[in-house]
Structure 1
Amino acid sequence: MTENIQKKEKLIAIYGASGFGRELAWLIESCAKRGMNYNIICFIDDDEKKHGTHLNNIPVLSLKDAKKRYPQATVVGGIGNPKIREKLMNKAADQGFVFETIIHPDTESSQWLEISEGSVICAGNTLTTNITLGHHVQINLDCTIGHDVIMGDYTTLAPGVHISGWVHFGKRVYVGTGAVIINGTEEAPLTIGDDAVIGAGACVTKSVPPLETWGGVPAKPLKKR
């Protein structure tokens, strides 16, 4: 006789009671409606004024209170800014939290993906083949990612970004809404350096050095940070 074994519910805390944090809550609730065994138990936020309040019917707690009340919960980063998200995820790890990876079921992809913990892939994305995502990568709504793309830890894509094949991202890269990045080659991948920012609507046709902000069509350097 076959036994019906119910999957254990995953308790999830979203670190960051922000705009993207609320969108992430919606995403996780959408995943739960599609059969994933998720339960959002709280937002975590460092702003003391928010502690004890509710955001879209979800309680907001401090990091220490969240760990005390829900020691078995996993954390997902609810902040779009890569540097701030890195700081918060390090704080959560110091408190003993582990991290959940969220992939919306409307994502189209091959089996040839490597996705590290803490990453978030929102609804409507297409990832083709031989793609590597680092820790805590965020891919917002309706992006496309081509073959042999590598994204370093905390890389963040805003909605509607399109990336062709053989593009390699460093860490903490931010790509604005609607940006397009053309392909590199196997011998010479197009690279986007650590902490670079690509402006909304930009068309990137060549490699971007670390710490620079590029924008326009074709994209050119705007400033170095």
Structure 2
Amino acid sequence: MQNVIIFGASGHGSVVLDCLEKEGKYNIIGFVDSFKEKGFKINGYQVLGNEIDLPFLISRYNIDGGIVAIGDNWTRKIIVDRILKISPNFNFVNTVHPKAILGKDILIGCGNVFMPGSIVNANSIIHDFCIINTNSSLGHDGIMDSYSSLAPSVCTGGSLKLGRYSAISLGVNIVNGVEIGQHSVIGAGSLVVDHFGDNVIAYGSPARIVRKRTVGEPYLSTPKKQQFYKLESIDDVESNLSI
């Protein structure tokens, strides 16, 4: 059984931990997190250090791989880049909760999370570091580019094309054949019947573009705490986000 670590000791990290435990394929060593003190415990597992400690942790615990448990798509990309800079050959694993359903002839990259109740239908393609969240479904022949995500209870028709870094929020319904560009966000509860391009925020029933969106603009914080800024590096993340 491979020894793995989880990057990100947040609430999302706990759900990823649950997926890994239920899957039963890996021996979970603990968490790596830049914002929580070494030795801090979450769900019975310790924070072992941060990304800078990775070479030591790989040697000390015989680490075979790991998964990045960070909900924000752009932040997840920044952390992956940082890990690869420190450990270029690091092995990113997928986790598939036993209550997830993966259809016939699908293709899956690395670092993906399939949460309980998620469904990926036949002939779909999931690239790298995507999240298919609780009770969400990707229709047949769907394509999710790297670092994209479906929030809980999203339902998509067939042949969706979801661009890199784009996020579909809670409870969105998308009709067949829709294409959504890169760095775009569809707001919670929307009905999507049209295509959308890059760098937009759209919501409503039917969904309409509300405004343009900058690369790295956060979308998971609560409205009260929401700030709009561009995140380009790990320094920006550490200054502005708690992951």
**Is this a same-fold pair by TM over 0.5?**
yes
Maintained 8 Å contact 1:199/1:214:
yes
Distance (Å, rounded) in 2 between the aligned partners of 1:172 and 1:192: 11
Q: 2:23 maps to what in 1?
A: 31
Q: Report Cα offsets for 1:22-49 as digits up to 9, x if no partner.
A: 11111111112xxx3x1211111112x5
1:200-211 matches, cutoff 5 A? 200-211=188-199
Q: 1:140 maps to what in 2?
A: 133
Q: 1:86 maps to what in 2?
A: 77
AA matched with 1:121: F
> Moved runs in structure 1, 4+ residues, more than 6 A?
none
Q: 2:156 maps to what in 1?
A: 163
Q: TM-score, normalised by structure 1?
A: 0.88
Q: 1:57 maps to what in 2?
A: 44
Please, which of 173, 176, 186 is the counterpart of residue 183 of structure 1? Answer: 176
Distance (Å, rounded) in 1 between the aligned partners of 2:58 and 2:28: 11
Q: Report Cα offsets for 1:123-148 as digits up to 9, x if no partner.
A: 11222111001110111111111111
Q: Report Cα offsets for 1:85-141 as digits up to 9, x if no partner.
A: 000011112222220011122222323100001111111122211100111011111
CA RMSD of aligned residues (A): 1.3
Distance (Å, rounded) in 2 between the aligned partners of 1:169 and 1:81: 16
Maintained 8 Å contact 1:174/1:196:
yes
Deviation at 1:200, TM superposition (A): 0.9
Larger Rg: 1
Task: Give the share of equivalent positions with the same residue, in percent.
Answer: 29
Q: TM-score, normalised by structure 2?
A: 0.81
Unaligned stretches of 5+ residues in structure 2: 214-243
Q: 1:3 maps to what in 2?
A: none
Maintained 8 Å contact 1:42/1:66:
no
Unaligned stretches of 5+ residues in structure 1: 1-8, 185-189
Maintained 8 Å contact 2:108/2:126:
yes
Please, which of 91, 106, 109 is the counterpart of residue 113 of structure 1? Answer: 106
